Amino acid sequence: MKKFTLLEDILVGYNFYPRHTSAYLVEQPTTAPTKPETEPDTKPETEPDDDPDPFHPPQPIVEPKPKAIKVFKEAYEDEVNPNTANFWKDIRKKEHKHIFSKHPILALHGDDLSKQGYEHHKDIEFDSGKMMHLMMQIQKIEGPHKEELEELAKKIIVEIYGIPKEMLQADLTRNTDIQGEQGDDSSEPDPDEQIPAELLKE
């Protein structure tokens, strides 16, 4: 008869393990099974396409240009003095006592002429700003060529008016220099052109 240990006798006595099975005698592994290696999540790098699409070539990234600040608004009603706008708008009403209300042209077309005048002066302001910017660029570029420009001015006067070159004196000046400082355009009078003191006394 097989002898059981005390723990085995207790388990068999409480019917945990039947006598005709040897499941309770099976030795359990002492080491845990090795886990399978996990593959990395990173995807393999793809090689660049040697033959790009000819119909959709890659475009360079262009940053948006800064928006320019408008000096005037586009709407006539937003910029013009309300008294002026309402005057021409209501010029034909009966309660209007102004003398222009009976004028054959101003009473009919005064409102349109006022709007056209506003647009005209607005365009002048824009053109003046552009011209000032261009003049600054011209002065910066042509500043080192002062002598050449003065000779060119003499040549043009000689060809157009036939004045001898010896009688011409060209002096290229400007009111404002490149740095924006006020220039000195004052020139001393020519001694030959000064009035004699005897004539001044008379």
| Closest C-alpha to 168, from 185, 150, 184, 186 | 150
Rounded mean pLDDT for each run of 10 residues along the chain, 202 residues in total: 53 50 48 66 60 73 66 65 81 78 86 88 86 88 89 93 90 58 49 49 48
Q: What pLDDT is recorded for position 154?
A: 93
Q: What pLDDT is recorded for position 142?
A: 85
Q: What pLDDT is recorded for position 47?
A: 59
Q: What pLDDT is recorded for position 152?
A: 93
Tokens representing 202? 């008379």
Q: What are the domain boundaries of the chain? A: 76-179
Percent helix, strand, coil in the chain (nearest 5)? 45, 0, 50
* CA pair distance 136, 81, nearest whole angstrom: 33
Is residue 196 classed exposed, middle or buried when 0-12, 13-18 and 19+ CB atoms within 10 A define those classes?
exposed
